[in-house]
Copies of this chain bind each other. A is one copy, B any other.
Amino acid sequence: MIDKTTTISNALNRVHDGHTVMIGGFGGPGTPFTLIEFLHQQGTKNLTLIKNDANEPGMGISKLLESGQVQTLIASHIGLNPAAVAMMNRRELEVLLYPQGILAEKIRAGGAGLLGFLTDIGVDTILRDSREVIHLDGREAILERALRADVTLIHAAIADRAGNLIFAKSARNFCPLMATAADQVIVEAEMVVETGSLDPDQVHLPGAFVDFILALDELTPEYGILPQHAL
């Protein structure tokens, strides 16, 4: 049987200096902390990262930002990470910010093999000034290009050996979109089950989009409850 599980080093040596890497997660849930930590240790640099947010100082992709491994971050909102904001303000990090759903659509468009899409979001704002604008039926529309990456890193709750994935609750977010939009897709999974044990109607992402699976041995504290966000 096809078995896409592999070692973390075999998976991550596909990420090279200068690569564009999509990283799943919205805040903590869905963030592949283990893959990120290894990428941090591996020292791969000059990366362009695409992620909704910048996690929080000392956590997740902030490790890559703080260590200077990242040249450009494409995101939606980095307000929860003052370290990233400070790097952006000091121009140590190029940050491209998009409306959150527009970022999601750009990634999805890349995954769907489209060239781009047209939206009216932001046409009446200063966003327009930094965008491609075309005219449609006498009104302005912003043309947004599709985004693709060399590699996508995501976290899943369950994977079968063929790469079919199930996400848990709000950990789904950008993960399935990003998995469609990269040349190579690496998944860390909390549980790996035999192919055939998932209900085909309940698979969130078909295995065809997945190249490598890392079975997580343990969940480090980053995956747990963050006291600063609890009551």
Does A38 reach chain B (CB closer than 8 Å)? no
Q: How far is the CB of A70 from chain B (nearest CB, A)?
A: 26
| Contact of A118 with B116 at beta-carbon distance under 8 Å, contacts A134-B134, A201-B168 already known | yes
| Chain B residues in 8 Å Cβ range of A114 | 105, 117-119
| Chain B residues in 8 Å Cβ range of A115 | 117-120, 136, 141
Flag if B116 contacts A117 (CB, 8 Å). Answer: yes
Give the residue name and chain of the B residue nearest to A116 (CB). Answer: B118
Q: How far is the CB of A139 from chain B (nearest CB, A)?
A: 9
Flag if B117 contacts A109 (CB, 8 Å). Answer: yes
| Chain B residues in 8 Å Cβ range of A166 | 201
Q: How far is the CB of A212 from chain B (nearest CB, A)?
A: 24
Flag if A169 contacts B118 (CB, 8 Å). Answer: no
Give the residue name and chain of the B residue nearest to A202 (CB). Answer: B202
Q: Which of A171-215 contact B (CB under 8 A)?
A: 200-202, 204
Does A127 reach chain B (CB closer than 8 Å)? no
| Chain B residues in 8 Å Cβ range of A201 | 166-169, 202, 204
Q: How far is the CB of A37 from chain B (nearest CB, A)?
A: 27
CA distance A115 to B118 in the complex (A): 5
| Chain B residues in 8 Å Cβ range of A87 | none
| Chain B residues in 8 Å Cβ range of A119 | 113-115
Does A143 reach chain B (CB closer than 8 Å)? yes
Does A96 reach chain B (CB closer than 8 Å)? no
Q: How far is the CB of A41 from chain B (nearest CB, A)?
A: 32
Give the residue name and chain of the B residue nearest to A102 (CB). Answer: B114
Of the candidates A115, A136, A201, the one having the most CB atoms from chain B within 10 angstroms of its own CB is A115
Does A86 reach chain B (CB closer than 8 Å)? no
Assuming A114-B117, A114-B119, A201-B202, what are 12 further A-B pairs, CB within 8 angstroms? A105-B112, A109-B117, A113-B119, A115-B117, A115-B118, A115-B141, A116-B118, A116-B141, A118-B143, A167-B201, A168-B201, A201-B204
A residues near B (Cβ < 8 Å) are: 105, 109, 112-120, 134, 136, 141, 143, 166-169, 200-202, 204
